[in-house]
Protein backbone atom coordinates (compact mmCIF):
# COMPACT_ATOMS: atom_id res chain seq x y z
CA UNK A 1 0.00 0.00 0.00
CA UNK A 2 1.39 3.39 -0.94
CA UNK A 3 0.86 6.42 1.21
CA UNK A 4 0.04 9.83 -0.03
CA UNK A 5 2.60 12.58 0.43
CA UNK A 6 1.13 14.82 3.10
CA UNK A 7 3.60 17.68 2.94
CA UNK A 8 1.79 20.95 3.24
CA UNK A 9 2.55 23.68 0.77
CA UNK A 10 1.50 27.29 0.95
CA UNK A 11 -0.26 28.41 -2.19
CA UNK A 12 1.07 31.51 -3.94
CA UNK A 13 -2.45 32.86 -3.76
CA UNK A 14 -2.14 33.01 0.03
CA UNK A 15 0.90 35.29 -0.23
CA UNK A 16 -1.21 38.14 -1.51
CA UNK A 17 -1.80 41.44 0.27
CA UNK A 18 -5.49 41.26 -0.69
CA UNK A 19 -6.00 38.60 1.99
CA UNK A 20 -6.04 39.67 5.65
CA UNK A 21 -3.12 38.53 7.80
CA UNK A 22 -1.30 37.31 4.69
CA UNK A 23 -2.20 33.72 5.57
CA UNK A 24 -5.70 33.72 4.12
CA UNK A 25 -7.38 31.84 6.96
CA UNK A 26 -10.77 32.59 5.43
CA UNK A 27 -9.62 31.31 2.05
CA UNK A 28 -8.46 28.05 3.61
CA UNK A 29 -11.86 27.58 5.26
CA UNK A 30 -13.55 28.39 1.95
CA UNK A 31 -11.38 25.86 0.08
CA UNK A 32 -12.17 23.19 2.69
CA UNK A 33 -15.89 23.90 2.29
CA UNK A 34 -15.64 23.60 -1.51
CA UNK A 35 -13.61 20.38 -1.37
CA UNK A 36 -15.77 18.74 1.29
CA UNK A 37 -18.98 19.70 -0.55
CA UNK A 38 -17.68 18.41 -3.88
CA UNK A 39 -16.30 15.23 -2.32
CA UNK A 40 -19.50 14.21 -0.58
CA UNK A 41 -21.58 15.13 -3.62
CA UNK A 42 -19.42 12.88 -5.85
CA UNK A 43 -19.87 10.00 -3.42
CA UNK A 44 -23.64 10.48 -3.31
CA UNK A 45 -23.78 10.57 -7.11
CA UNK A 46 -21.69 7.39 -7.34
CA UNK A 47 -24.15 5.69 -4.98
CA UNK A 48 -27.00 6.26 -7.42
CA UNK A 49 -27.96 9.86 -6.77
CA UNK A 50 -31.13 8.99 -4.83
CA UNK A 51 -30.54 12.07 -2.69
CA UNK A 52 -28.17 15.02 -2.53
CA UNK A 53 -26.09 16.01 0.49
CA UNK A 54 -28.53 18.84 1.22
CA UNK A 55 -31.40 16.32 1.05
CA UNK A 56 -29.49 14.13 3.51
CA UNK A 57 -29.18 17.03 5.97
CA UNK A 58 -32.92 17.78 5.80
CA UNK A 59 -33.82 14.12 6.27
CA UNK A 60 -31.34 13.92 9.14
CA UNK A 61 -32.93 16.89 10.90
CA UNK A 62 -36.34 15.27 10.51
CA UNK A 63 -35.14 12.19 12.41
CA UNK A 64 -35.19 14.30 15.59
CA UNK A 65 -37.63 17.03 14.55
CA UNK A 66 -40.30 15.10 12.66
CA UNK A 67 -43.37 17.19 11.95
CA UNK A 68 -41.42 20.43 11.78
CA UNK A 69 -42.76 23.40 9.86
CA UNK A 70 -40.83 23.91 6.64
CA UNK A 71 -39.78 27.44 7.62
CA UNK A 72 -38.25 25.99 10.81
CA UNK A 73 -36.45 23.37 8.69
CA UNK A 74 -35.08 26.22 6.58
CA UNK A 75 -33.74 27.94 9.71
CA UNK A 76 -32.26 24.73 11.12
CA UNK A 77 -30.45 23.92 7.87
CA UNK A 78 -29.59 27.52 6.92
CA UNK A 79 -31.48 27.43 3.66
CA UNK A 80 -33.71 30.19 2.37
CA UNK A 81 -37.45 29.59 2.05
CA UNK A 82 -37.35 29.01 -1.70
CA UNK A 83 -34.51 26.49 -1.55
CA UNK A 84 -36.21 24.65 1.31
CA UNK A 85 -39.44 24.44 -0.68
CA UNK A 86 -37.50 23.05 -3.66
CA UNK A 87 -35.75 20.46 -1.46
CA UNK A 88 -38.99 19.38 0.23
CA UNK A 89 -40.85 19.08 -3.09
CA UNK A 90 -38.04 16.87 -4.47
CA UNK A 91 -38.04 14.72 -1.33
CA UNK A 92 -41.83 14.46 -1.40
CA UNK A 93 -41.81 13.39 -5.07
CA UNK A 94 -39.41 10.57 -4.14
CA UNK A 95 -41.62 9.56 -1.23
CA UNK A 96 -39.04 10.41 1.44
CA UNK A 97 -41.15 13.05 3.19
CA UNK A 98 -44.78 13.92 3.46
CA UNK A 99 -46.25 17.38 3.99
CA UNK A 100 -49.40 17.82 6.02
CA UNK A 101 -51.23 20.98 6.90
CA UNK A 102 -51.09 22.16 10.49
CA UNK A 103 -54.51 21.62 12.06
CA UNK A 104 -54.73 25.20 13.34
CA UNK A 105 -53.47 26.93 10.21
CA UNK A 106 -54.14 25.26 6.86
CA UNK A 107 -51.42 27.38 5.21
CA UNK A 108 -48.71 26.00 7.52
CA UNK A 109 -47.23 22.80 6.21
CA UNK A 110 -45.52 20.36 8.54
CA UNK A 111 -42.93 17.97 7.13
CA UNK A 112 -42.77 14.33 8.20
CA UNK A 113 -40.15 11.69 7.46
CA UNK A 114 -41.54 8.55 5.80
CA UNK A 115 -40.29 4.97 6.06
CA UNK A 116 -38.61 5.23 2.62
CA UNK A 117 -36.94 8.45 3.88
CA UNK A 118 -35.59 6.60 6.91
CA UNK A 119 -34.38 3.80 4.63
CA UNK A 120 -32.47 6.13 2.30
CA UNK A 121 -30.85 7.81 5.32
CA UNK A 122 -29.73 4.40 6.54
CA UNK A 123 -28.44 3.56 3.06
CA UNK A 124 -26.38 6.75 2.80
CA UNK A 125 -25.10 6.85 6.41
CA UNK A 126 -22.07 4.62 5.65
CA UNK A 127 -21.11 6.93 2.76
CA UNK A 128 -21.14 9.90 5.12
CA UNK A 129 -19.21 7.98 7.80
CA UNK A 130 -16.54 6.83 5.33
CA UNK A 131 -16.14 10.33 3.92
CA UNK A 132 -15.93 11.82 7.41
CA UNK A 133 -13.17 9.32 8.25
CA UNK A 134 -11.28 10.40 5.13
CA UNK A 135 -11.67 14.11 5.92
CA UNK A 136 -10.38 13.73 9.48
CA UNK A 137 -7.74 11.08 8.72
CA UNK A 138 -4.49 11.77 10.56
CA UNK A 139 -6.01 14.15 13.08
CA UNK A 140 -5.95 13.17 16.73
CA UNK A 141 -9.07 13.32 18.88
CA UNK A 142 -7.54 16.35 20.61
CA UNK A 143 -6.94 18.13 17.30
CA UNK A 144 -10.51 17.44 16.24
CA UNK A 145 -11.81 18.73 19.57
CA UNK A 146 -9.75 21.94 19.32
CA UNK A 147 -10.82 22.45 15.69
CA UNK A 148 -14.47 21.92 16.66
CA UNK A 149 -14.20 24.48 19.45
CA UNK A 150 -12.48 26.96 17.11
CA UNK A 151 -15.21 26.52 14.47
CA UNK A 152 -17.92 27.08 17.08
CA UNK A 153 -16.16 30.25 18.25
CA UNK A 154 -15.91 31.54 14.67
CA UNK A 155 -19.60 30.83 14.10
CA UNK A 156 -20.43 32.63 17.32
CA UNK A 157 -18.29 35.59 16.24
CA UNK A 158 -20.36 35.71 13.05
CA UNK A 159 -23.61 35.84 15.00
CA UNK A 160 -24.64 32.25 14.35
CA UNK A 161 -27.60 31.26 16.52
CA UNK A 162 -27.12 27.86 18.14
Q: At 65, which CATH number?
A: 1.10.10.10
Structural domain count of the chain: 1
pTM of the model: 0.81
Q: Is residue 147 part of a domain?
A: no
Q: Is residue 90 part of a domain?
A: yes
Cβ burial 26-40 (10 Å sphere, 16+ → b, else e):
ebeeeeeeeeeeeeb
Per-residue model confidence as pLDDT tens digits over 74-119: 999 999 999 999 999 999 999 999 999 877 776 788 999 999 999 9
Q: Is residue 153 part of a domain?
A: no
**Confidence (pLDDT) at 23:** 58
Chunked mean pLDDT (size 10), the chain, 162 residues: 49 60 72 93 92 95 94 92 95 96 79 97 96 96 96 91 74
Residues 6 or more apart whose CB falls under 8 angstroms from that of 18 comprise: none
DSSP code at position 6: -
**Confidence (pLDDT) at 102:** 79
* Cα–Cα distance measured from residue 69 to residue 66, given in angstroms and rounded to the nearest whole number: 9
Per the structure, the complete domain to which residue 81 belongs is given by 12-135
Q: Is residue 5 part of a domain?
A: no
Left (φ > 0), alpha (ψ -120 to 50) or beta: where does 49 sit?
left
Q: Is residue 47 part of a domain?
A: yes
Amino acid sequence: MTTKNTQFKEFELFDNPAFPNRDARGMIIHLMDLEISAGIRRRFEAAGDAITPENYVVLGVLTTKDGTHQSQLARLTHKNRHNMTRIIVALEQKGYVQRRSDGGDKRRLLVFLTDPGRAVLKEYAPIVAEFSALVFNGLSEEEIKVMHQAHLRILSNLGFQF
